[in-house]
Structure 1
Amino acid sequence: MNKFKDIGLMNKEKLLQIFDYLNERLRENQMQLEITIYDGSIMTMVYDNRPATRDIDCVFSETNFKLLDNILELTKFAFNLTDGWINEEIKEPLKSILKEDKETYRVYSNLKILKPKAEQLLAMKVLAARPEPAKDFVDAYILCKDLNITTKEKLLDICSGYIYLTLIGERQRKFIEYLGEDLGYDWK
């Protein structure tokens, strides 16, 4: 029995099954789609940081949205997903990003999945700096380790490529300070 089925969580395996299913429905409808995934979906699929995610934070390329909505409803039904399983609210924070730096994550016959590079994702996590239960801090820690960031200067240099440093307020400053402390550095 799938332990994620009843509570609406999607683990890496289920996410990949959903993308396979989406690709098949797109193929049947002779439709091509490009989707960029963010946040929990990436941390679950790419970094194996989370056992599961509640939604797929994403942005779709320009497409036939009436047909896509139908395909998404079929997917929701087929996988017994909760309302809000597709979350396009990421569009709002993306307005603060200076540039998108995407790379291909996976290519199917009719579906292409993109993701932001780790540097962009880290800058987005620092800017968001949400308190628990959001996973921004844990995600930023993993991304710093992955990118071998050992100084506050290097972190801020990366961030400045994606966000205006003037957007960093007290919450983000504390976030960075605690991040450095957890990594074993003094970033005051």
Structure 2
Amino acid sequence: MRLILGAMLALMGVPSALAQDRPRAAPVVAATDGARDFDFEFGDWDAHIARRLRPLTGSEEWVIYDGDSVVHKVWGGDANLGELDVKGRAGRIHGLSLRLYDPAAKRWRIHWSNSNDGQIGPAMVGGFSHGRGEFYDAEMLGARSIYVRFIFTGATPGTTKFRIEQAFSADGGKSWETNWIADFKKRG
């Protein structure tokens, strides 16, 4: 796991202190091309999200959101755009996910933007194997350098449901705390 995480961060050129502490690893190369890995997600979905309110603080307080997700093909499928609009007692999340395929590296880059701040976040880099996707990046959470991990499960052609879990690590990837669980169910 640490080798994969190190390789992913090396591919991204992560300048964080966390990335500098790890040994350099060879880039991870996908077994297949991967350019169609997100095709399963095109269309309209019902979204149910559980979000930890204060990650990496020991808090066990979660909030629930429900709403819609729509994913559109861009550039003939070499990119895609996901729109998320969910509401709950903690408010509304109106987000945009831009996924771009890098054919040379055979990897996807996922960028997230929230309408609350209108900024595009750093790329999470990764890919899929056997219906499971793993994506990583390094970010700041307040004044702390952390690793961020996305895991997609159930991501297979023709699926009618899948899950994304986001987790943070403040110890260089030794342990992870899940802070976002999103379940999607295909409409129609």
Bin of the TM-score, shorter chain as denominator length? under 0.3
The two structures have a TM-score, normalised by structure 1, of 0.20
Higher strand share: 2
The two structures have a TM-score, normalised by structure 2, of 0.20
